[in-house]
């Protein structure tokens, strides 16, 4: 029989409390799977008197999470959050002492993943982060291990449940973005300050980790162009559906002739493709690869129990002695394929313009697009005229992003164009 595995949990919010609860309530089942007793021996949080629904009677309490590293522990579970501050300090200290780390902190690893992975290597410690991407979905294990026989070509992720919920409700109810966001906040689906979610930062953190695990490279969060859903309107939702699409906030990773492409942006997804069916607060990860072909993983991307499920699964892997380099291969073998110049990528686009309802407007816009060699697949001048202003929807054929940016900069300067043009990428899948 192996010695008990002593676990310290930093952070007793929704996820941390669920981790403790699962380990305590599923003790016998977890022993059979792990081959060792899993014992929470120390915790740290702000308020010792708060009722979290778990038994802390025989667990050492620390007001300062940094003191957890002084305890005699085997694994640190970090569920505090944040790219820097105490989360970074304690994870770095633990790995420096050879203590294995399990974290749900996507921001920490997206920003400091390279440093921390190398520190784990140097000290023969595990660094596991399944819970950091898509909650209960085993997305990291799938792309890093389950698809290891493949050279993955692309990943498309619906990685933020708040955004997926808002877009779903806008489509189903016809409500505006601000109306549905307020409803989501009232129901607890969105934070009081939802910026990280709705502006795509949360999705970008997760996209960086998916890319690193899939392509065996250091996370490159700082070079992911990121746009959220703040400017998606009910007009966009309505006419996207009329054109045969749903709008989804996607984290996209693709291996191309230009290098590895990473982006986060609202996209039009064909109604007949698998990702279009993922509604509500669900997350999904869709991969394409030469031997496995297409795979789709769907599940709960957030919440106490779903995220804690992934944390405990990582703990079990450590107990079993399953030692996998955080990004698939040792750091000296990380992929050095360059990041693609996103201005050079070829994409089809949806364009929404708000223009005067007057003769010659479409001709002026068409002339600019023609001069930039941009071909229009279809154009809809809508009947929603308000004070002489009307939406104009354009769908382009595949075009270089740089050319589209140049054209839109010129179009925006036209006197007949009353708002900044809004664009979304059209995702074409098999």
| DSSP for residue 198 | H
Beta bridge partners of 127: 101
How many C-alpha atoms does 145 have within 13 Å on its Cβ side?
Answer: 11
Q: Where in the sequence numbering do the catalytic residues fall?
A: 206
Q: Of 371, 378, 367, 364, give the one whose Cα is nearest residue 415.
A: 364
Tell me how many degrees the CA angle 254-256-257 measures, rounded to the nearest 5: 170
How does pLDDT run along the chain (430 residues), one tens digit per residue? 467 999 999 999 999 999 999 999 999 999 999 889 999 999 999 888 788 888 888 899 999 999 999 878 999 999 999 999 999 999 999 999 999 999 999 999 999 999 999 999 999 999 999 999 999 999 999 999 999 999 999 999 999 999 999 999 999 999 999 999 999 888 887 888 899 999 999 999 999 999 999 999 999 999 999 999 999 999 899 989 989 999 999 999 999 999 999 999 999 999 999 999 999 999 999 999 999 999 999 999 888 999 999 999 999 999 999 899 999 999 999 998 899 999 999 999 999 999 988 888 888 999 999 999 999 998 887 666 666 788 899 999 999 999 999 999 999 999 999 999 999 999 975 4
* Same fold flag, 5-133 and 342-427: no
How many angstroms separate the first and last alpha carbons of the chain?
Answer: 51
Full DSSP string of 67-85 = GGGGS--SEEEE-S--SST
Beta bridge partners of 270: 245
Give Cβ neighbours of residue 135 (< 8 Å, ≥ 6 apart).
Answer: 283, 299, 300, 301, 302, 303, 306, 307, 309, 310
Give Cβ neighbours of residue 360 (< 8 Å, ≥ 6 apart).
Answer: 416
CB atoms closer than 10 angstroms to residue 226:
18
- CATH class, range 342-427: alpha beta
pTM, entire model:
0.94
- CATH class, range 139-302: alpha beta
Q: Of 323, 409, 345, give the one whose Cα is nearest residue 372.
A: 409
Radius of gyration of the chain (CA): 24
Token representation of residue 272: 């007949």
- CATH class, range 5-133: alpha beta
Domain segments of the chain as ranges: 5-133, 139-302, 342-427
- Are 69 and 99 in contact by the 8 Å Cβ rule? The answer is yes
Q: Of 54, 88, 277, give the one whose Cα is nearest residue 164.
A: 277
């Amino acid at each position: 029989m192996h010695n008990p595995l002593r676990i310290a949990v930093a952070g007793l919010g929704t996820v941390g409390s669920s981790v403790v609860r699962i380990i305590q309530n599923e003790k016998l089942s977890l022993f059979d799977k792990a081959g060792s007793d899993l014992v929470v021996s120390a915790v740290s949080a702000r308020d010792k008197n708060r009722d979290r629904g778990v038994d802390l009677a025989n667990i050492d309490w620390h007001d300062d999470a940094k003191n957890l590293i002084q305890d005699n522990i085997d694994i640190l579970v970090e569920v505090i959050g944040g790219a820097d501050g105490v989360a970074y300090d304690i994870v770095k200290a633990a790995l420096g002492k050879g203590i294995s780390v399990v974290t749900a902190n996507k921001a920490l690893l997206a920003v400091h993943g390279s440093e921390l992975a190398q520190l784990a290597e140097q000290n023969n410690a595990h660094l596991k982060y399944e819970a950091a991407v898509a909650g209960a979905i085993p997305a990291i294990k799938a792309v890093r291990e389950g698809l290891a026989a493949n050279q993955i070509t692309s990943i498309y992720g619906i990685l933020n449940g708040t955004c997926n919920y808002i877009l779903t409700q806008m489509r189903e109810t016809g409500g505006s973005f601000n109306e549905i966001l307020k409803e989501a906040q009232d129901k607890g689906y969105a934070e009081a300050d939802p910026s990280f979610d709705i502006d795509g930062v949360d999705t970008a953190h997760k996209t960086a980790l998916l890319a690193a695990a899939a392509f065996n490279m250091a996370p490159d969060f700082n070079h992911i162009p990121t746009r959220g859903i703040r400017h998606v309107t009910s007009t966009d939702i309505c006419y996207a559906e009329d054109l045969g699409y749903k709008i989804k906030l996607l984290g996209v990773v693709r291996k191309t002739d230009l290098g590895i492409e990473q982006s986060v942006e609202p996209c039009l997804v064909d109604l007949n493709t698998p990702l279009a069916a993922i509604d509500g607060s669900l997350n999904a990860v869709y991969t394409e690869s030469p031997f496995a072909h297409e795979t789709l993983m769907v599940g709960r991307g957030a919440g106490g129990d779903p995220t804690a499920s992934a944390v405990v699964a990582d703990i079990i892997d450590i107990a079993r002695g399953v030692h996998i380099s955080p990004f698939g291969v040792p750091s000296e073998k990380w992929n050095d394929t360059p990041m693609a110049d996103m201005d050079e990528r070829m994409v089809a686009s949806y364009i929404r313009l708000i223009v005067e309802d007057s003769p010659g407007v479409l001709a002026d816009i068409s002339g600019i697009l023609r001069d930039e060699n941009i071909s229009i697949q279809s154009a809809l001048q809508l009947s929603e005229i308000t004070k002489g202003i009307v939406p104009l929807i354009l769908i382009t054929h595949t075009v270089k992003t740089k050319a589209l940016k140049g054209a839109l900069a010129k179009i925006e300067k036209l006197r007949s164009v009353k708002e900044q043009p809004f664009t979304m990428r059209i995702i074409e899948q098999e």
